[in-house]
Every structure is written in structure tokens, then in C-alpha cells.
A and B are shown apart, each in its own frame.
Chain A
Amino acid sequence: MTTDLAALTLVAAADGLRRRVFSAGELEAACAARRQQADPTLHAFLVETPQRSTAAAVDAALATGESLPPLAGLPIAIKDNLCLTGAPTTAGSRLLAGYQPVRDATVVARLAAQRTNLIGKTNLDEFGMGSSTEHSAFGPTRNPYDLTRVPGGSSGGSAVAVAAGAALAALGTDTGGSVRQPAAYCGLIGLKPTYGRVSRSGLIALTSSTDVVGVLARTARDAAVAFSGVAGRDPDDATSVAALPLDVDALASPNVRGLRIGVIEEAFADVAPEVAGPVRATLLELERLGAAVAPCSLPSSPAGLWAYYVITPAEASTNLARYDGIRYGTPLHEAGPTLAARYAATRGQSFGDEVKRRILLGTFALSAGYHDRYYGEATRVRRILSAEYAVAFNRFDVLASPTTPDVAFPLGSKRDPLAMYREDVNLVGASLAGLPALSVPCGVATGLPVGLHLTGPALAEGQLLTLAAAVETVRGRLPLALAV
């Protein structure tokens, strides 16, 4: 019974709560049991947050017949770069160890307002910089389908929490693929909404022009429910937008007849055959359901990877300048009498290698004499690529590609930074253009999950989730990793 509850979808759990089949307390206990059993090995969580439990309150409300919001009482994990009061928020960094936020991020506050059970903060690559969750200052997270492999990153902790049954869904953040790639590696739906569709207030910034709060869930309907619970205009985020709500119930019977799907040719260039196979087979199945599938070209998409890796360090070097051991963190007084010496020593000792590498790259790209050659060119390519997407969406409703070039790679196998960056080649384009995108499981290769990546025009989350739900009908759902 306990494991069964931890394996429920959000939709099924919400239905079970309302029909009083089980209690919010039992649901919480089931996920907690999975956490206690599996997390010493997986290390998905950095801290648990029992002080934010809503199980008792929700059960009391249900006992009186009170009508509750969709996410009430459901155990959801939060990536540890989203501020949540009552517990440290570290962004996976030694520099922020012990940092206590003064307020919840807007997305956290919205979930709390719905009496969602916020069960803990999950591990991540430091400040969101990475594609493996190996760059956390607090140790790596392991893939529950193969403990010798990475879960992806930077939202690896959130992905593993959901895949291993320790949470029913999780919030992550996606700057250049950090929700979608771990979703692909862990057999989940990973939704990156349109830039601005979800508030960034209270998100510890990495790249302000591409950071988006996203959702990791077990099904398309679950992703829709969780997304609907956090999306919307926020006065505290001037870049946020309002949009029409999703029709979650329509995802139970997805209709893709007539949907025009463009398959990005460049996205298959360096993809392993065992990954390309399930992706192409799924697209054939979608054709049988009535979708119109045809090739599509985004000529600048390969260069988009490098444009992204100029822009993101450039913005990160600015965003992380505030972490000086004075406003955040603890200064190393022994470094010397000057502020400059203390700043440099604190940052030098407290940041991990990937963070320092990107800060140096970003500083270089913005510096006099190199700004036009690197940052100027990167923004030019960004705008060209965004225009190519716009042209493609004149012909197609959705663009498709493999999410990743290969299945989850072994821990410690990508020491070369360039090799790690190349993992994101099919993901960064949607980030640069601010477009919604998701990864949906489409099969298995060598025993590991494979993801199909779907990109839509702005505010097309409903269309993407409809297509993802259709993929689920033809490819089925991957069993959760409950053996750990």
C-alpha cells in the first residue's frame, strides 16, 4: 500500500484524497518512506521540510467536506535554487550554505496557498550550472535506473525525487535544458514553459534572460496540473505574463489529428542510433494518429549551442557578482584587510570549478576588446535563431527532436567542459528564443530512458502537453524506479 501510494500520479492522488480512499497523512508517509529507503543512495534531497507539511490541515479540511485546490495535500519537492522559508536555500553552493531566505519564491508561495505539501529541497548543480548534478557542493545525485550514471542536471535532484517515488512531482528550473534533460534521463515529463509564463521572483538567478521555473512530473496531465498551480502574472516579476488557463481534462483524450510536426534535421547529427530509433518510431506512431510529420531545418541551431554558452556565463558573471561573502555568505577575514581581498578569497574558496569557469568566461566575453567578438556575435546568432524558429512555426505547430544525444552518461565521465556543454545542443535553442518546450519519455535504450523533445510557439504549453499525452497513449509510461 505504501509503495502504491508513492507511485501514484498527481491526478490519481488528488482523486484518491477527495474520495477519502487514503489520507494526506498516508500519502506523505508513503513518500517519506521511499525517501528514507532510497535517498541515502540517491541523494536527491538536500533538506527535508516537515515544517511545511500540510497533511494534517488538508485531512482536517477534507473531513469537513471543504472543497480544496487541485494540489492540496500532494507531496511536491522544490529545487534548492527556489527560496523557501523555514529551511536553508543553498543553490547547491558552499557560499550559500545555511542561507535562510526571508520570503518564499512566488511559485513556492502559490503552492503553499493551495496547501500543497512541500516536502523538501532537492539537489542541483551549483547555481544551476551543469548538466549532471555532479557540480553540487554537497555531492552528486545518482540516476535511480542505474546508480553508476548521472540523473542529468541541473534539476537532477528534482527528477530523481519524482522518478524514485519520493515525491509525486517537483519544481525545477530550466535555463538551457535543466528540466528537460534530467526528465529525459529519468523517464519523466519535463516542461519548460514560455519565458515569463511562470514568475522568477525568488529564483536565485543564473541567466536572467532564459531562466524559467519548470515542472517534472510522471504524466502530461500531472505536468499540466502542477504548471497551472504556479503559472501566471506576478507583480514582483516584470517579465511575467498572463495567459489563458490550460484545459487539463482534455489531456485525458488527446487529439493530434492534423497537428503539423516538424522534425529538426540538425538535431540528429550527433545522436546515438539507440536514441534516434525510439524517437523516430514515436514520430511514426504520431503519424498513425493523424499528425502530419515532415522534416524541418534550423540552420543556426548548432551554432546556437555556443551562442548560449557565451550568453549564459556573461549574464551569470553579473548575477553572481553579489555573492561576495558580505551580502551573502561568510567573509574570509584572514584573507587580508581590504574588501577586495576578502571578496576574492571568499569567492575563490566558496565557488566550485564550473561556477568559477563560467564566471571567468562571462567576464571575458563582456570585457573591452572582446565584447563584440563574443557577446555581440552571440546575441546576433540568438536573434537569427529566434527568427528561424518563427519561420518554422509558419509551417509547423510543433518542432520535434531527440532531447539528448545519448542516454544518461556514467558519473565522472565528462570531465571536459566542452563535452558537458554539448549535451545541451538540442535544448538551448528553445531557451534562447524564449519558447515553451518539453521532454516526454518515448522509449528505452540499453535499459535507460529516452526522451522526445517538443518545442512550440510562445504560450503553446497546452499544445505541447496534448502531444505529450498522445505520446503516452502510444508508448506507455516507464515504470518508476522503486527498486532502490
Chain B
Amino acid sequence: MAVSRATLDRMAQLARLRLTAAEAERFRGELSAILEAFDRIRAVPGDAPGAAIERPLKDLRPDKPRQAAEADAILADVPHRTGRSVSVKGGVLTS
């Protein structure tokens, strides 16, 4: 895949790399050749194992919070609690 100078410059900006003009042109050519080699991976057939196992979106429940039926049983095992809340040691940031 041919990489344009504008694309190379944009990638360098994202990567926080200041390149000289000569470097930019050299890397542009090298990346073009390397990306062409990378395209060979698309020729590998098949899906990744497990990719066919998808949960249809229509099976999802409505996105509304609800009280879990097991809440009391779960809270019974919590070592420190305040009402229906779990108490944890606070992380303290001191100035």
C-alpha cells in the first residue's frame, strides 16, 4: 500500500516523532513496501476460532438497572458493609 507524505506526516505527529524531510521521505518509501507485505495476511482464509460464536443483539435485555435477586446473598459475604453498600479502605492522596 502506497503511503502518502501527508499520511506519513500525520502518523509522525500522532507518534510524537519529529522527522527530518529526508527521514520522512525514506520512511514513507519503507512503510509503503512493508505495508504491501502486511497485506498478505488478508489472504489467510477463515475466521479466528470462536469468531462465529456471536450473541444476537436482539437477545440483550433492556439497558435499565434492576435489583439483582441475589443481592442479599452476595452482600452477606462482604466483610465490611454499610447498608447495601460495600465498604472499602479509601485511597488517600495527601498534598
B48 an interface residue at 8 Å Cβ cutoff? yes
A297 an interface residue at 8 Å Cβ cutoff? no
Q: Is the CB of A360 within 8 A of B33?
A: no
Other 11 A-B pairs with CB < 8 A, given A356-B23, A380-B41: A303-B43, A340-B16, A343-B16, A345-B18, A360-B12, A361-B34, A362-B15, A364-B11, A367-B14, A378-B41, A384-B46
In the complex, which residue of chain A has the Cβ closest to the Cβ of B43?
A303
A300 an interface residue at 8 Å Cβ cutoff? yes
Residues of chain A with a CB closer than 8 A to B8's CB: 360
Q: Is the CB of B41 within 8 A of A321?
A: no
Interface CB pairs A-B, < 8 A, 24: A303-B43, A306-B37, A309-B34, A310-B38, A310-B41, A321-B16, A344-B12, A344-B13, A347-B17, A347-B18, A348-B18, A351-B17, A360-B12, A360-B27, A364-B35, A367-B11, A367-B14, A378-B38, A378-B41, A380-B47, A383-B48, A384-B44, A384-B49, A418-B33
- Interface readout for A306-323 with B: 1 if CB under 8 Å, 0 if not? 110110000001000100
Known A324-B16, A343-B16, A359-B15: A418·B43 in contact at CB below 8 Å: no
- Interface readout for B14-40 with A: 1 if CB under 8 Å, 0 if not? 111111000100010011011101101
A103 an interface residue at 8 Å Cβ cutoff? no
Q: How far is the CA of A362 from the CA of B14 in the complex (A)?
A: 11
Residues of chain B with a CB closer than 8 A to A361's CB: 31, 34-35
Q: Is the CB of B19 within 8 A of A303?
A: no
Q: Is the CB of B42 within 8 A of A377?
A: yes
Q: How far is the CA of A420 from the CA of B38 in the complex (A)?
A: 15
Instruction: Kindly list the 8 A-B residue pairs having the minimum CB-CB distance in the complex, ordered from nearest.
Output: A348-B18, A383-B48, A344-B18, A363-B15, A343-B16, A380-B48, A387-B49, A303-B44
Q: How far is the CA of A87 from the CA of B18 in the complex (A)?
A: 30
- Interface readout for A333-345 with B: 1 if CB under 8 Å, 0 if not? 0010000110111
Q: How far is the CA of A231 from the CA of B79 in the complex (A)?
A: 35
Residue from the list A300, A345, A359 in contact with B44, Cβ < 8 A? A300
Kindly provide the distance from the CB of B1 to the nearest chain A CB, expressed in whole angstroms: 9
Residues of chain A with a CB closer than 8 A to B50's CB: 383
Residues of chain A with a CB closer than 8 A to B37's CB: 306, 309, 418
Residues of chain B with a CB closer than 8 A to A40's CB: none
In the complex, which residue of chain B has the Cβ closest to the Cβ of A325?
B16
Residues of chain B with a CB closer than 8 A to A335's CB: 18
Kindly provide the distance from the CB of B30 to the nearest chain A CB, expressed in whole angstroms: 6
A414 an interface residue at 8 Å Cβ cutoff? no
Q: How far is the CA of A55 from the CA of B7 in the complex (A)?
A: 56
In the complex, which residue of chain A has the Cβ closest to the Cβ of B42?
A377
Q: Is the CB of A356 within 8 A of B33?
A: no
A374 an interface residue at 8 Å Cβ cutoff? yes
Known A361-B34, A383-B49, A417-B30: A303·B17 in contact at CB below 8 Å: no
In the complex, which residue of chain A has the Cβ closest to the Cβ of B49?
A387
Interface residue ranges of A371-413 to B (CB < 8 Å): 373-374, 377-384, 386-387
A110 an interface residue at 8 Å Cβ cutoff? no
Q: How far is the CA of A340 from the CA of B16 in the complex (A)?
A: 7
Residues of chain A with a CB closer than 8 A to B48's CB: 379-380, 382-384
A257 an interface residue at 8 Å Cβ cutoff? no
Residues of chain A with a CB closer than 8 A to B34's CB: 309, 361, 417-418, 421
A20 an interface residue at 8 Å Cβ cutoff? no
Residues of chain B with a CB closer than 8 A to A288's CB: none
Q: Is the CB of A360 within 8 A of B31?
A: yes
In the complex, which residue of chain B has the Cβ closest to the Cβ of A323?
B16
Residues of chain B with a CB closer than 8 A to A387's CB: 49
Q: Is the CB of A344 within 8 A of B16?
A: yes
Residue from the list A307, A359, A365, A421 in contact with B17, Cβ < 8 A? A359
Kindly provide the distance from the CB of A350 to the nearest chain B CB, expressed in whole angstroms: 10
Residue from the list A360, A373, A377, A417 in contact with B15, Cβ < 8 A? A360
Q: How far is the CA of A374 from the CA of B15 in the complex (A)?
A: 17
Residue from the list B16, B30, B44 in contact with A347, Cβ < 8 A? B16
Residues of chain A with a CB closer than 8 A to B11's CB: 360, 363-364, 367
Q: How far is the CA of A58 from the CA of B41 in the complex (A)?
A: 54
Q: Is the CB of B41 within 8 A of A357?
A: no
